[in-house]
Amino acid sequence: ALPIWSYTRPVPPSEPSPPGPAPAGLYARLRGMQRDEAVALFWELVRFGWVGVFTVCVYAGEMWILRHHTSLPAWACAIIATLPCLLLNYTLHRSFTFKSDKHHGQAGPRYLAIQLSGMAFNSSALWLTVERLRWPFLPAQVVVIVLLAGGSYIGQKLWSFD
């Protein structure tokens, strides 16, 4: 597989090829963008952020309800609260953020793979920064969240919902 920075979207046979040579990678695609494409990308990023913030609010609400109205441990509450958020987040990103018509049988497993990879990265990065390097938790989590958001956006845009 090619690294993400060298990705170029294949042109389906039904679409005419764009004039001129295809951009070499993601950076070249960004540099060669027209103004209307840049504006569309900006609003896509805004929608991505709003979906993320909305999903975090739903998660926080679920966690509050579960922690205050059940005797379940925090880890069990987190698992229970995460599952509906994954479905909500997938649905909103597919239909609202990326306006994708990719079949659920293809987009769903890819989305789930990105989310599970993100969970593994989050756990590993927090173990490294907090446990091994002795960073304070909050700054470490903020750095990890920023990296996760960027990786999630790129993975969803170029793999799950393209």
| pLDDT value for 17 | 54
Global pTM reads: 0.72
Helical packing angle, 104-126 and 74-92, nearest 10°: 140
Tell me the helices (H) and strands (E) count for the chain, helix number first.
5, 0
Query: What's residue 13's pLDDT?
Result: 57
The residues, any chain, with a CB within 8 Å of residue 7's CB and separated by 6 or more, are 25, 26, 158
**DSSP per-residue codes, 21-70:** PPPSSHHHHHHT--HHHHHHHHHHHHHHHHHHHHHHHHHHHHHHHHHHH-
Question: pLDDT per residue over 127-155, tens digit each?
Answer: 999 889 999 888 988 898 899 999 999 99
pLDDT per residue over 10-52, tens digit each?
545 565 555 555 545 656 666 777 888 889 989 999 999 999 9
Is the pLDDT assigned to residue 1 strictly greater than 50? no
Helix (H, G, I), strand (E, B) or coil at 83: helix
- The C-alpha torsion from 12 through 15 and 19 to 23, rounded to 10°, is -30
pLDDT score of 14: 61
In terms of Cβ atoms closer than 10 Å to its own Cβ (0-12, 13-18, 19+), residue 89 is buried
DSSP 161: -
pLDDT of residue 134: 92
Q: Report pLDDT for 48.
A: 96
Give the model's pLDDT for residue 141.
87
Q: Is 102 helix (H, G, I), strand (E, B) or coil?
A: coil
Check residues 85 and 31 and name the one with the higher pLDDT: 85
